[in-house]
Amino acid sequence: MATTKAREDIKNDLKTLKEDVKVAAREETSRLKEKAAEAESVLRDKTEEVRERARGYYDQARLRGREYYDDASERFDEAQRYVTERVQERPVQSTAIALGVGVVLGLLLAGRRR
């Protein structure tokens, strides 16, 4: 009978242990879900922060690009006015220079074909 009692005690202990493991597993699952939710929230916040920072960099780069474009456009217009004025001051000399440059380029390009 003592053996039967011992077996019953062991069965009861195993049953209690099994229930304890189930409870511990549920608690751990709950804790892990909470941690995952916290991590997701932090990740969302960081993602939004990075997105805002990237928008700032993009806007800043766009403004700088616009400034560079405007500056280059202004310089090009100035150069164009300068060339136009010089050509109007000396039309024959300008035509001769253009002809000379054209001949030199033509000879260089023709020399590559051979």
Q: Which two tokens stand for residue 113?
A: 């074909």
> If 0-12 CB within 10 Å is exposed, 13-18 middle and 19+ buried, where does residue 12 land?
exposed
26-81 pLDDT, tens digit each: 999 999 999 999 999 999 989 999 999 999 999 999 999 999 999 999 999 999 99
Query: Is the distance from CB of 98 to CB of 90 less than 8 angstroms?
Result: no
Instruction: Specify the pTM.
Output: 0.48
Locate the domains of the chain by residue range: 2-113
